[in-house]
Amino acid sequence: MSTISFAIVGCGHIANKHIEAIRNIPNATLAAVCDTNPERLKEYADTHHVRGYLSLEEMLEKETELDAVSICTPSGLHAPLAVQAAQAKKHVVVEKPIALTLEDADRIIQACKDNGVKLSVVHPNRFRPAVMELKKFKDRGLFGKLSHVNATVRWNRNQAYYDQAPWRGTKALDGGVLMNQAIHNLDLMYWLTGPVEEVQAYNATRLRDIEAEDVSVAVLRFKDGTLGIIEAAATIYPKNYEESLSIFGETGTAVISGRTANWIKHLIFEGVSEEETARVIEQVEQDPFGTPGHQHIIADMADAIREDREPLVTGQDGRNALQLVLTVYEAAEKHAPVKWGESKELVSSQQ
């Protein structure tokens, strides 16, 4: 089995998760790191015993055997770097969100398509054991006709968190609680429930000194008539309280929650024995975190390269989650419902 060579662009906090994932995957190797901050670059290069570069251009020029690049920079910088990597014929793993605008998301998707390289977006919550079990029940059709779904993030990101770097909480480079924390839940909601028809929303910046929102509530109508509720907050005192995802259907109910949505709190289906659902709940409780989601994403990219197939979490998946966040933003700004296909951010026919 061939070894897949990765490089990291952006040596911030999230890069550590990528590096750990690469180190824990057989037949994958970390070849280089890149960052515009010389001190931070030296720290990462020395710690991980790899070559370091101050520019992506230099790294792509010198690392000729490189297979894939992980983009771990602030979100507003994803597009130019991902496009540059794709144009150098390198496969691309990009941290969430894929970008901050649909125009930039489409630039990334098109560049990867034009250059024949794979693209995966880091939405690791799909690989939580509880979520994977929920997806199995959904794929079996056991919920029947859905009535509504609910995604909740009640977390704490205090002012010190935003003060760590000047780009945090800015609209140009970062975004707020929807774009940073709740986008994972929105990805799961879209993935499990399907295309959105219309969004109504309120956003506010209540407690943090940032440009973007620290709390948001939204109501969705999906194309099949299912209703959805989003509640996202970075304002919970004094620490993270709850993350949950709930699905309510004609013949089934499921709720996963906890401080992070790693535990199945309620699971019942018509025609499914209590013994079977209890077994699933117990199995998840024995290992609620499972293999880290970043490791799933990186391992899947390596396999996708070897097998010449699409990654499990595609650029379009990342785009869908981004569009949902942006449509919530627009509905809140307009104080009016926004149709999915009429969003001012919609610049692609991809659905």
Q: Give residue 111's pLDDT band: very low, low, confident or very high (50, 70, 90).
A: very high
| Sole residue written with tokens 């054991």 | 129
Residue 341 has a pLDDT of: 79
Q: Give residue 343's pLDDT band: very low, low, confident or very high (50, 70, 90).
A: low
CA dihedral 157, 160, 162, 167 (to 10 degrees): -160
Domain ranges (residues) in the chain:
4-124+293-312, 129-289
Give the chain's mean pLDDT.
Answer: 96
pLDDT in tens, 38-58: 999 999 999 999 999 999 999
Q: Domain 129-289: state its class.
A: alpha beta
Q: Give residue 349's pLDDT band: very low, low, confident or very high (50, 70, 90).
A: very low
Residue 346 has a pLDDT of: 45
Task: For residue 182, give the DSSP letter.
Answer: I
Q: Is the peptide bond before 238 cis (omega within 30 degrees of 0)?
A: yes
Average pLDDT over residues 192-221: 97
Residue 171 has a pLDDT of: 93
Q: What is the rounded distance in angstroms from the CA atom of residue 17 to the CA atom of residue 229?
A: 30
Asked if residues 267 and 97 have their Cβ atoms less than 8 Å apart, the reply is no
Asked if residues 110 and 279 have their Cβ atoms less than 8 Å apart, the reply is no
Residue type, position 152, single letter: T
Residue 61 buriedness (CB in 10 A; 0-12 / 13-18 / 19+): exposed
Sign (positive or negative) of CA dihedral 91, 96, 97, 99 = negative
Asked if residues 65 and 41 have their Cβ atoms less than 8 Å apart, the reply is no
Q: CA 272 → CA 59, 149, 186, 251, 277, distances in Å? A: 54, 21, 28, 10, 7
Q: Is the pLDDT at 344 greater than 60, yes or no?
A: no
Residues 6+ apart with CB under 8 A from 167: 74, 76, 173, 174
Residue 348 has a pLDDT of: 35
Name the CATH superfamily housing domain 4-124+293-312. Answer: NAD(P)-binding Rossmann-like Domain (3.40.50.720)
Q: Which of 21, 245, 193, 51 is nearest to 120 (CA)?
A: 21
pLDDT in tens, 117-167: 999 999 999 999 999 999 999 999 999 999 999 999 999 999 999 999 999
Residue 350 has a pLDDT of: 34
Average pLDDT over residues 278-299: 98
Q: Please tell me the chain's helix, strand, coil percentages from 3-state DSSP, rounded to the nearest 5.
A: 40, 25, 35
Query: Cα angle vertex 308, ends 307, 313, to 5°?
Result: 95
Q: Give the residue ranges of DSSP H helices in the chain.
A: 15-23, 38-48, 56-62, 78-87, 102-114, 129-139, 159-162, 177, 183-193, 274-286, 293-307, 315-334
